Amino acid sequence: MFGSQILEVAIGIIFIFLLVSIICSALREGIEAWLKTRAAYLEYGIRELLHDKGAIGLAKSFFNHPLIYCLFSKDYNPTDKTKPPGLLANGSNLPSYIPAKNFAQALMDIAARGPSTDIRSSDPNAPAVSLENIRINLLSLQNPAIQRVLLLAIDSAEGDLNKAQENLEAWYNSSMDRVSGWYKRSTSWVLFWIGLFVAVALNINTVSIATYLSKNDIARAAIVARAAALAKDSTFLQEDFQKVSQELSSLALPIGWDNIDITWPKKNSNFNLWDNVLSWILGWLVTGLAVTMGAPFWFDLLNKVMVIRSTVKPHEKSLEEASEDRQLPTQRIAGVIPEVEPKNLPAKPIKTSPLPIGEQPMINVQAPLDADSDVDGCLDHSHDALDEDITNDEDLPVATGGVEI
């Protein structure tokens, strides 16, 4: 079936994308653990949030506050980071995550007791953190934008300190959604370049793989069977780099540079731009772009396509049921009774029961009565006497309904 073949090729391609995505994601996690790029984006987002891009005022006091300082090692030594982080920015020793509660409490404490952590701010007799103290000491921040945000949080709290803290947490979380968007876009670009590198290094050409699967029934059936088995196991997304690489290399597909004849056309030979250049570049680019979608996306899509395939080829799941037509092949049409001349009747009558079309009657098998026995002309099997007469065709009642001609 043409549609079924297209689906099987699609399943094979999606399965390859799933394996390559897991491999590239593992490589991305290794790079992230080394560079801590997420920490660089978080630190840049907080400096923008606190209106201190140079980290010379409130942002520096914030990262040196005990509630934040405990989240990373060493001291906070900002450099000139007025520009957004790059794709492979180095987060150094900065924290990769700061809870919203820590952010709100640290900012309120800085506003109430001052930006510096010294003997005065840490004195037991220092004023308690309250909405009134925050309002009175706002000018010590020397940051008009944040002072206005704190005033709005205080006014909206209606005298409730916990409500003011919740307002600041909501402000922080909304800003972190924006930072997460920056980081996701950065990760997509990094995954693309990793995917393109893997595609070229391992020669994972989507065009050649699709062409091979469309022409090789055995390889297509094998990869579909393997994809169906792994699609039922969601834990496969958590497999390590080595196991997924082994799974990819075990497939009988044109992957890798071994057995690939890269011979450019010699002089006076025909040069095919598509076969020799464009199909390779396009196949690698498609593989790299597919990696940016992520392994969970391809895993979900694989399961959906498998469901579609099961509806296209239902006989793979269960055998076709026999017809439930109760009439014999010589059925009556529009009240006309065909003349059937019996030949070679046995010496003794043999009882039969109506069978579905296409099935052979069984000899000496007694079938039970049903509610329509008196209508369809079946023999009465309530008696087991062999000398009972067989109903002739002329004595059968005229059938009702049927197909009008």
Mean pLDDT calculated for residue range 347-361 = 48
- The length of the chain is 405
Is 225's pLDDT higher than 50?
Answer: yes
Q: Is 130 exposed, middle or buried (0-12, 13-18, 19+ CB in 10 A)?
A: middle
Task: Indicate if 332 and 311 belong to the same structural domain.
Answer: no
Q: For residue 209, count other CB atoms closer than 10 A to its CB.
A: 24
Is 125's pLDDT higher than 70?
Answer: yes
Instruction: Write out pLDDT tens, residues 148-161.
Output: 999 999 999 988 99
Task: Indicate if 131 and 24 belong to the same structural domain.
Answer: yes
Q: Is 126 exposed, middle or buried (0-12, 13-18, 19+ CB in 10 A)?
A: middle
33-37, 150-154, 268-272, 316-320, range with the lowest pLDDT: 316-320
Residue 331 CB partners (closer than 8 Å, separation 6+)? 399
Contact 88, 190 (CB under 8 A): yes
Higher pLDDT, 83 or 270: 83
Task: Indicate if 252 and 385 belong to the same structural domain.
Answer: no
For a pLDDT cut of 70, what percent of the chain falls above it? 72
- The pLDDT value recorded for residue 264 is 44
Task: Indicate if 390 and 345 belong to the same structural domain.
Answer: yes
Is 25's pLDDT higher than 50?
Answer: yes
Contact 60, 43 (CB under 8 A): no
Q: How far is CA 45 from the centre of its chain?
A: 30
Task: Indicate if 333 and 316 belong to the same structural domain.
Answer: no
Domain boundary among 289, 320, 351: 320
6-10, 212-216, 366-370, range with the lowest pLDDT: 366-370
Domain boundary among 320, 352, 375: 320
Mean pLDDT over each residue of the chain, to the nearest integer: 78
Task: Indicate if 305 and 386 belong to the same structural domain.
Answer: no
Query: What total number of domains does the chain contain?
Result: 2
- The pLDDT value recorded for residue 365 is 43
Higher pLDDT, 115 or 261: 115
Task: Indicate if 76 and 150 belong to the same structural domain.
Answer: yes
Contact 36, 92 (CB under 8 A): yes
Q: Is 95 exposed, middle or buried (0-12, 13-18, 19+ CB in 10 A)?
A: buried
φ and ψ of 128, to 5 deg: -70, 155
Task: Indicate if 135 and 154 belong to the same structural domain.
Answer: yes
Is 173's pLDDT higher than 50?
Answer: yes
Task: Indicate if 149 and 81 belong to the same structural domain.
Answer: yes
Contact 8, 309 (CB under 8 A): yes
What's the pLDDT band for 4 if we cut at 50, 70, 90? confident
> Which secondary-structure segment (H or E) carries 73?
none
Task: Indicate if 262 and 303 belong to the same structural domain.
Answer: yes
Q: Which amino acid is at 265?
A: P
Structure tokens at 227: 């994809």
Task: Indicate if 163 and 108 belong to the same structural domain.
Answer: yes
Q: How far is CA 89 from CA 44, 183, 191, 360, 386, in A?
A: 11, 11, 15, 78, 96
What's the pLDDT band for 265 if we cut at 50, 70, 90? very low
**What is the Cα–Cα distance from 275 to 299, expressed in whole angstroms?**
31
Domain boundary among 287, 304, 320: 320
**What residue numbers bound the domain in which 82 lies?**
1-320
- The pLDDT value recorded for residue 80 is 63
- The pLDDT value recorded for residue 342 is 47
Higher pLDDT, 389 or 225: 225
- The pLDDT value recorded for residue 393 is 58
Instruction: Write out pLDDT tens, residues 284-309.
Output: 999 999 999 999 999 999 999 988 88
**What is the Cα–Cα distance from 276 to 259, expressed in whole angstroms?**
16
Instruction: Write out pLDDT tens, residues 68-89.
Output: 998 988 888 876 667 788 888 8
214-218, 237-241, 355-359, range with the lowest pLDDT: 355-359
Is 317's pLDDT higher than 50?
Answer: no
- The pLDDT value recorded for residue 73 is 82
Place of tokens 């002739």: 392
Angle between helices 295-312 and 217-231 (to 10 degrees): 120
Residue 260 CB partners (closer than 8 Å, separation 6+)? 203, 254
Structure tokens at 264: 């450019």
Task: Indicate if 350 and 290 belong to the same structural domain.
Answer: no
Q: Which amino acid is at 340?
A: V
What DSSP assignment string belongs to 317-340? Answer: TSPPPPP---S-SS--BTTB----
